[in-house]
Amino acid sequence: MSLTMTGARNVDRRGALKLGLGAMAAALAPPGARGAAAAAPAPLDPRERRLANLRQLTFGGQNAEAYWDWTGTRLVFQSTRPPFGCDQIFTMRQDGTDVRLVSSGSGRTTCAFFFPDGRRVIYASTHLAGAACPAPPDRSQGYVWPLYPSWDIFAADADGGNLTRLTDNDGYDAEGAVSPDGKRIVFTSLRAGDLDLYLMDADGANVRRLTDEPGYDGGPFFSWDGRFIVFRASRPETPAELEEYRALLRQSLVRPRRLDIYVMRADGTGLTRVTRTGGASFAPFMHPNSRQIIFSSNHHDPAGRTFALWLVNVDGSGLERVTWGESFASFPMFWRDGTKLVFCSSRNAAAPRDLNVFVADWVPA
């Protein structure tokens, strides 16, 4: 699910390329960071004992959902930065250099992920419905997420070429991740009238449904060994909650009020609820040992306004807070050997809504 931004103009990818490499690099640099090249060391809170050698990779704007390639040398992420009015997909090296635009510059994009060979990526985009950023949702009745029917999932070369549509469905298709063998994609879809998880082949064929309980199942990721899928879900627990959920779906909206972490086998069997903490827990990713899950949650904050990273065993035991140094931390991902963690955070923010990408060495217990 993309971070919500409003406003400004989009640019055509070909037009942007006509600027030339130097001008394009300047145009894509976030405010106040033009000419900035490499990662900068960032301080750690003394309680952040699981992290070491923290580095900040981006410096301004809204940067989120940064995920490793198989080699641990590049990241794909979404960012709202000039000249774009809403999220576009970029790649960069693990030190924050060599930022490259992947998406077309039209519409809104989200949820990018590398194929194992590093030469192709997937992401969701609304660009087929128009070049403009989709309108923000009506939040007069509370905080809601938009489920734009124009979201579809695409595959492209890592340089943005050879764009291929993978889903062709009159409704929400997004939140995709590629299996470690590159053969399958797990994603969220509203195609059957509920927000459920599906699998499809890497070319978009052979779609099969994995979950079918009422509620919002989303943000799925494969474990690094490909045996499990971890995700977050909001399951209505009363008739009134179910009615509100379905009423919002009819408006292409969802309210992320209470979210918990779940895990299941990659074929959809063995569904297990991991957390029962209350609040909103989301953005889970499994440690390569397949015994622990890192995720973002606000359950520690009675007001629900701050999010930290937490670690938990797959059986729900051993809950441990990981980050303390910001008001928002989320979208964590371990590299495949478990030695590095990438996440997005509001720490060191130069402006109130800034989110940046950070990488840290992971310290085992």
Residue 32: per-residue pLDDT = 33
CB 152 within 8 A of CB 127: no
Q: Is there a contact between 30 and 59 (Cβ–Cβ < 8 Å)?
A: yes
Nearest CA among 253, 244, 256 for reference residue 281:
256
Reference 175, options 258, 231, 118; nearest CA is 231
Identify the band that residue 260 occupies on the pLDDT scale cut at 50, 70 and 90. very high
Mean pLDDT of 101-129: 97
Is 115 strand, coil or helix?
A: coil
Rg (CA), the chain: 19
Q: Output the CA torsion 87→263→294→248 (10° steps).
A: 40
Cis bond upstream, residue 83 (ω within 30): yes
Distance separating alpha carbons of residues 175 and 130, to the nearest angstrom: 20
pLDDT > 50? residue 19: no
Structure pTM?
0.89
What's the pLDDT tens digit per position in 82-99? 999 999 999 999 999 999
User: What is residue 24's predicted lDDT score, i.e. its pLDDT?
Assistant: 32
State yes or no: pLDDT of 28 exceeds 50.
no
| pLDDT number for residue 113 | 98
Mean pLDDT of the chain: 90
The per-residue pLDDT for 37 is 53
Per-residue confidence band for 7, with pLDDT thresholds at 50, 70 and 90: very low
* pLDDT greater than 60 at residue 15: no
* Separation between Cα atoms, residue 167 and residue 283, nearest integer Å: 23
Order of strands across the sheet with 184-189?
173-178, 184-189, 196-201, 208-209
Position 139 scores a pLDDT of 87
What tens digit of pLDDT does each residue of 197-237 get?
A: 999 999 999 999 999 999 999 999 999 999 999 999 999 99
Lowest-pLDDT range of 33-37, 172-176, 300-304: 33-37
Least confident piece of the model among 15-24, 288-297, 308-317? 15-24
Spell out the domains of the chain, with CATH numbers in brackets: 13-362 (2.120.10.30)
